[in-house]
Amino acid sequence: MSARHDLPPPPDLSLQPACDDDFEALLSLRLAAMSESLQRLGSYDPQRARERLSRAFEPSHTRHIVCAGERVGLVVVLPKDGHLVLDHLYIAPSAQRMGIGAWVMRQVLAEADAHGLPVEVSALKLSEADQFWRRHGFELRHDDGWDLHYRRPPRALAAPVAAAEADDEPRRSAAGG
């Protein structure tokens, strides 16, 4: 499998809010996105997947990933004490390896950085996601035997453009140089 993380994302990507009525569609998308990994681990259980998603389902923290008007994924970011938890990030199999997940991560991390918050995420130990998380600045903090737990510290925001442009102007010395 080749690395495709250098691809530009498709045009027309957006994050749109979810509502209570979206649960079944989101569950269907989660099952499609996770079934291969979970079957490989021998732990594919649709009822368990339903329970896990329903425990954390907060429409106010859930967004659809939309590409060209079609829902192709979901992302759930939960505020916790002094940090954010990326609780779910799923991309439909037909939309994977197109740069969509990386685009979503840039949006989530920009929001976290704007608030000065670290982001935490957990992933199945034997999933192929480890390199994805590391590419986005996450550091492995803990391995509990089943999941890997990552954390990405907040990044300083870039200086405003006006200040950066002022720094690029030639400097004149007090001696009239």
Among 115, 106, 111, 109, smallest CA distance to 152 is for: 109
Separation between Cα atoms, residue 30 and residue 120, nearest integer Å: 19
Band (pLDDT 50/70/90 cuts) for residue 158 is: low
Among 32, 78, 28, smallest CA distance to 50 is for: 28
Residue 176, pLDDT score: 42
Judged against a pLDDT cut of 90, whether residue 56 lies above it is answered with no
Please say whether the beta carbons of 142 and 151 come within 8 A: no
Render pLDDT for 1-19 as a digit per residue (tens, 0 to 9): 344 556 677 779 999 999 9
More confident residue, 176 or 159: 159
Per-domain residue ranges of the chain: 13-156
Q: pTM of the predicted model, to two decimals?
A: 0.78
Separation between Cα atoms, residue 91 and residue 105, nearest integer Å: 12
Paired tokens of 83: 């940090």
Residue 107, pLDDT score: 96
Among 76, 78, 72, 89, smallest CA distance to 34 is for: 89
In the numeric block, the tokens 């009239």 are attached to 176
Q: How far is CA 60 from CA 69, 78, 108, 173, in A?
A: 21, 9, 15, 55
Q: What average pLDDT does the chain have?
A: 82
The CATH class given to the 13-156 domain equals: alpha beta
Render pLDDT for 107-155 as a digit per residue (tens, 0 to 9): 999 999 999 999 999 987 777 788 899 999 999 999 998 889 999 999 9
Residue 64, pLDDT score: 95
